[in-house]
Structure 1
């Protein structure tokens, strides 16, 4: 029963990844078809991101009231409707309107399922969960590419993805009894150390709001820096390789695709590593590997080392995000974990939205050669926040003992 529910959650995360890269993949044809300016895609992306941030911040109260199953179902239904709206949209205004429910739906389902898996499943399931997001994010452009062959074919691509989302919404609706049965039979195993920390955190929570719990703000900053690294590498990596390393655009794109591929594959492999290493150790090791990879981009080595650097950054980042999410209930207690998870996802999307353009703004007035230095600063910031948080948790553990 529990395994069957986990499969449903994995399917939901594949569907979560499907729409994310569609706008970028289809924009050249969308722009020509509806006569939109080039920079309109950026505004649509920001509308989606703002909607995602808002729904992440509100998700704690909403999920507490209606439950994970219902919120996930409605969110996927909202996303499917938004994608269907893209299919019918006659102008950029309608695309902007449809972008609102697309962002709202994505943020709610992301937060809901991350917290559910963090509470009820092992760390390897969280790593595999996010590798399935990578599967969806990879399949989305592939599906769209199959349709971008004729006039207005991008619409058929959106229609196909919308159909997949509606099918998943139907599966989620039919799975409501399954969620109830699993909830009734759920017994989450905890170690004595975790129980001691949990008791202390619960005692603090009687008088504290989520943001007042020690370490929460450090965790939020860690998510901000993490997503700043991940998205900045993906967005500006090709430009750095073309302008600084003198590679062709096609070769640079292939190298950056290896970064995304390495991140997705490594998340799947990390699921097996979690049987041997704790989430905290995986976070630390991942940050150090990513920092070494960024250093290879900074140092004046032959171009081949840049390829190794990109792959190392992808492999290093792979375990960090899932492990930080899975640690949330252990770090801050179950009572506020859903609300804090929403805050973390909101800061993650904030990092995705604003930190990469910050580099672009500064580079436009200087040079894209600053790219690896920004990556190093973001990784070091994440590492410092993470280690300071670990210090606070160790002190909390000692007091509990």
Structure 2
């Protein structure tokens, strides 16, 4: 039953990834149709991400009230309605209205499922969970490119994704009784896959007062900043700087998400042998190499390699950081801190891509690669500082145990 239910969760994450990459892939075609400036996509992304921030911050209380299963069903239904609304939107105002439930639904289901898997399953399941998000994020631009390169419009692409979401809502409703049953049967020792051990002294500390929590927030902030900026502005960078067609650019963006997807599939197996911390560090260095390829004056084909490298590098970072949450900061605090992490992560999605859009409208979208490099470096620095703090805490805890003995 647990395996079957895990498949349902994976499918939910496919649906979570599908709309995340749709706007960036469709924007080169949507922009001239609406007659809007380039940076408007950044504003829409801010609205979507703003909704996810609100729902992520409230997720801990809402999940406690009605349960993870019901939150997931309601959230996916909201995203389905929002995507259908996008397809019928006749103006920017309607796009903004539809962006609100899209963000609220995405943030709630993200926080709920991440903590459920981090608490009840081992590290490789977390990587595979986000691998399936990558499946959805990869399919999004592919589906959109099929519609915008054929006789249909981008609106038909949104309708297709909405139909998939509504189908998942039905499946989630049927399997709703399984959520509590599986949770009761799953007893996973979360310390098995980590370099750290939970500190019993954390039980009486408020979540935001735990050392390392705020630095972890910084890592999530810049991680989502990189991922969202790549997804939102990657097509525009390829069309305006590399002179590719919108349909070709959308396909290239799908390779970026494919890099994330394949990387997380492989990471799921690697976590059985290698710790989360090593995977996070290796991924950040790989992403940095890919970003450097984007800035070099080399043939356009190397840009595709750069996009894939950034995707592969990002692959292990997010799921591994999430899975470390109960271990770093205590299982009793994990749901609330997970919600906070989601909120901060989406804050990065809210402000960092629009920041690039604003700067690009004044200068050139050519600054895209510079921003990606800076974001990755800041993520790497904050992540390493968290590791140092956790090792110090572990060392102090062992000293305290020795003194008591």
TM over 0.5, shorter chain: yes
TM-score by length of 2: 0.85
In structure 1, the partner of 2:75 is 75
For structure 2, list consecutive stretches of 5 or more residues without a partner in the other structure: 399-405
Task: Tell me the alpha carbon deviations over residues 294-321 of structure 1, each in whole angstroms, 9 at most, x when there is no partner.
Answer: 3344556666654443332221111111
Contact 1:57 1:346 in 2 (8 A): yes
For structure 1, list consecutive stretches of 5 or more residues without a partner in the other structure: none
2:384 partner SS: helix
Aligned equivalents of 1:20, 1:219: Cα separation in 2: 23
Aligned equivalents of 1:101, 1:252: Cα separation in 2: 28
Contact 2:46 2:349 in 1 (8 A): no
Aligned equivalents of 2:349, 2:144: Cα separation in 1: 23
Of 305, 314, 317, which residue of structure 1 is paired with 2:314? 317
Aligned equivalents of 1:210, 1:170: Cα separation in 2: 36
Contact 2:16 2:133 in 1 (8 A): yes
Task: Tell me the alpha carbon deviations over residues 65-122 of structure 1, each in whole angstroms, 9 at most, x when there is no partner.
Answer: 2221111111112222333444555554344323221211111001110111111112
Aligned equivalents of 1:209, 1:131: Cα separation in 2: 32
Within the alignment, does 1:230 sit opposite 2:221 as a pair? Answer: no
TM-score by length of 1: 0.86
Aligned equivalents of 2:368, 2:88: Cα separation in 1: 39
Summarize the Cα distance change of 1:329–1:298 in structure 2 as closer, same or farther, 3 Å threshold.
same
User: Considering only aligned residues, what root-mean-square deviation do their CA atoms show, in Å?
Assistant: 3.1
In structure 2, the partner of 1:116 is 116
TM-superposed deviation, 1:373:
3.4
Aligned equivalents of 1:122, 1:51: Cα separation in 2: 29
In structure 1, the partner of 2:402 is none
TM-superposed deviation, 1:189:
2.2
Aligned equivalents of 1:363, 1:91: Cα separation in 2: 24
Aligned equivalents of 1:122, 1:192: Cα separation in 2: 8
Aligned equivalents of 1:253, 1:186: Cα separation in 2: 41
Aligned equivalents of 2:359, 2:283: Cα separation in 1: 28
| Equivalent residues, number | 395
Contact 2:141 2:251 in 1 (8 A): no
Summarize the Cα distance change of 1:25–1:254 in structure 2 as closer, same or farther, 3 Å threshold.
closer
Contact 2:52 2:104 in 1 (8 A): yes
Contact 2:24 2:235 in 1 (8 A): no
In structure 1, the partner of 2:276 is 279
1:336 partner SS: helix
